[in-house]
Structure 1
Amino acid sequence: MELIFLGTGAGAPSKGRNVTAIALTMLNERNSIWLFDCGEATQHQILRSSIKLSKLEKIFITHLHGDHIFGLPGLLSSRSFQGGETRLTVYGPVGIANYIRTSLAVSGTHLKYPLEIIEISDETVFEDADFKVICGELDHGIMSYGYRIEEADKTGALDAAGLAALGVKPGPIFKELKEGKMVTLEDGTVVDGSRFIGPTKKGRIIAIFGDTRAAPNELMIARDADVIVHEATFGAEMGDVACEYMHSTTIGAATLAKNAGAKRLIVTHISSRYNREDNRELVAECQSVFPNTEIATDFAIFEL
């Protein structure tokens, strides 16, 4: 599982950063990719990455400001041109369906794959046997959400060596034992599979935030996360400006990560007033509160 940052700027594209788009690749987990936000020129950024649109399964939109959605119609169209045939689901605030359908209709775009659009309001956005996605409303002057992605816990590894000592050979019987079942061997020996399963591996938790200033739901979304992705549009010295424009500072993002008991923080959505040389100072501000902080740049890849 990896996070690939396709755009890490705020408001408008700059020479150093494109606007917001983050890919969560889960090729080993479910052979698919999820995209969080789709700012202008996201499909151009994808051309410079390892991402294949045919693998795109879900798009989660945090809010309807242009720097988070202006790339969406073009990307949906290109996925069709490039042979995408599997269902694609887009989640987002009320209004996202009208935006997409109007854009496609006015441009005469016909998709060759089924497109599902879900306007979110409930706390649980998506859930299956492997993943659960929860959303929480933020504070940005426009409906803006943060998403909490929870991976299901994994059953512990089977103790193959211990079973071999009992004379149990690999084969279909291993599947039953892995499920914790009682299995009777040919010689009549009864083996309790649950005794040969290692500790459960806890699923990962990822919190990805839309634009916001400090909000009550932030802690719920971020609590005990393995990684938080949070905007830090402004440096610490611009706290009043950040609050006025309903954005966050480096210190605000780091304080959330600390209070949430998170393991890791990645800050993004950086104002164009800061250049690459400023990255070190912005990270240092975060690290003064939450040491395990990194700053995202376009095309940066973070393994989870």
Structure 2
Amino acid sequence: MLRLTFLGTSAAQPTIHRNLSGLAVRRDRELFLVDCGEGTQRQMIRFGTGFDVDAIFFTHFHADHYLGAIGFLRTLSMQGRTTPMDVYGPRPAKRLLDVMLFTGTERLAFDVRIHEVAPGTEVRRDGCVMRAFATEHRIPSVGWALVEDERPGRFHPEKAAALGVPMGPLYGALQRGEAVTLADGRVVRPEEVVEPRRRGRTMAVTGDTRPCAGTIAAARGADLLVHDCTFGDPEQARAEETMHSTAREAARVAREAGVRELVLTHLSTRYDREWQPLVDEARAEWPGPLSVASDGMTIEVPLPHDLARAPSPG
């Protein structure tokens, strides 16, 4: 499973329909948050993501992207969590979060391990890495790419049987990439019965950014790109001034990176409920699967061999 649940899709301030930035990423047994704006924990209850978060990945430390972490971590403490929480973000993660979480307040019931990262930092998780990549905003910032490990190639038991390999441990050895020797002395190599290894999934989340080479490189060939889309064409100058992106610019990044699907998020309040102009502008640059995120929307990212089955926003 690789499922994204959009917890907050508004830029700078909440609206009736949109909370501040937050994204829940469920990959098999692990749950990550990418950013945690104010009100995120209520959104997690509302949309049923669960509170079993293994790590929080911040893109930057503007207030609308991190203030919700303070209350959320205290809720986990009141609920009796004892497992350490790993928190990752660009500078000033260590200085800022140390002050916000531990100065003049009751200590949490679990350890919070704060890791300051830079573009290129890789965080190893179960079956994947979370890779920080360079973005361009007004303060130090990164995007996060989830890159799954390669998967074993498909094993063909009928081919193994035809070569005289008996069912049992030798099948397992071949699937692990080991050559096996049969009772008659013949050697069967894994490439005779196992297809080449298959790539895993890749998704990239920019946070707040101008369109930039760092995003294009990190999202090259990705299954999904979640990109800042604060403004439309009429606000081009404002996008450049505040170091955000327009829908057209985000779509251009998606096209240049060759991604499979694009999701636009972090919308200005002027597009709170009327985002069709953003879709129209993005369509001028991007012909592929495209959606504008809304709070509670979920996307299932399929395995590469299932790509005929498109993700379905909820």
Aligned to 1:62, the other structure's residue is in SS state: coil
| Structure 2 Cα separation of the partners of residues 267 and 286 of structure 1 | 9
| Structure 1 Cα separation of the partners of residues 174 and 258 of structure 2 | 36
Partner residue in 2 for 1:70: 67
Q: Following superposition, which runs of at least 4 residues in structure 1 exceed 6 angstroms of deviation?
A: none
- Structure 1 residue 189: deviation in Å? 4.3
| Structure 1 Cα separation of the partners of residues 91 and 121 of structure 2 | 16
| Structure 2 Cα separation of the partners of residues 194 and 81 of structure 1 | 53
Partner residue in 2 for 1:3: 4
User: What CA deviation, in whole Å up to 9, does each residue of 1:25-47 have, x standing for no partner?
Assistant: 102xxx10111000001001001
Worse overlay, 232-241 or 12-21: 232-241
| Structure 1 Cα separation of the partners of residues 213 and 61 of structure 2 | 21
Partner residue in 2 for 1:174: 171
Partner residue in 2 for 1:19: 20
Amino acid at match of 1:152: D
1:286 to 282, 287, 297: 282
1:38 to 23, 36, 45: 36
Which ranges in structure 1 are unaligned for 5 or more consecutive residues?
none
Change (3 A) 1:23 1:107: farther
Change (3 A) 1:95 1:147: same
- Structure 1 residue 280: deviation in Å? 2.7
What's the % identity of the aligned pairs?
Answer: 35
User: What CA deviation, in whole Å up to 9, does each residue of 1:30-84 have, x standing for no partner?
Assistant: x101110000010010011232222x11211001001000101111122223343
| Structure 2 Cα separation of the partners of residues 228 and 33 of structure 1 | 19
The alignment of Structure 1 onto Structure 2 pairs a total of residues equal to: 299
Change (3 A) 1:129 1:80: closer
Aligned to 1:34, the other structure's residue is in SS state: strand
1:239-254 equivalence runs, <5 A? 239-254=236-251
| Structure 2 Cα separation of the partners of residues 86 and 156 of structure 1 | 35
The answer to whether the 8 A contact 1:77-1:109 is kept is no
TM-score (norm 2): 0.89
The answer to whether the 8 A contact 2:84-2:113 is kept is yes
The answer to whether the 8 A contact 2:18-2:272 is kept is no
The answer to whether the 8 A contact 1:90-1:116 is kept is yes
TM-score (norm 1): 0.91
Which ranges in structure 2 are unaligned for 5 or more consecutive residues?
302-314
Amino acid at match of 2:34: F
2:92 to 78, 90, 95: 95
RMSD: 1.9
User: What CA deviation, in whole Å up to 9, does each residue of 1:251-279 have, x standing for no partner?
Assistant: 01001101111111100000111132x22
Change (3 A) 1:186 1:22: same
| Structure 2 Cα separation of the partners of residues 108 and 37 of structure 1 | 23
1:1-304 equivalence runs, <5 A? 1-27=2-28, 31-54=29-52, 56-106=53-103, 108-127=105-124, 130-276=127-273, 278-291=274-287, 292-304=289-301
| Structure 2 Cα separation of the partners of residues 101 and 275 of structure 1 | 34
The answer to whether the 8 A contact 1:5-1:299 is kept is yes
Aligned to 2:160, the other structure's residue is in SS state: helix
| Structure 1 Cα separation of the partners of residues 177 and 133 of structure 2 | 37
| Structure 2 Cα separation of the partners of residues 35 and 288 of structure 1 | 32
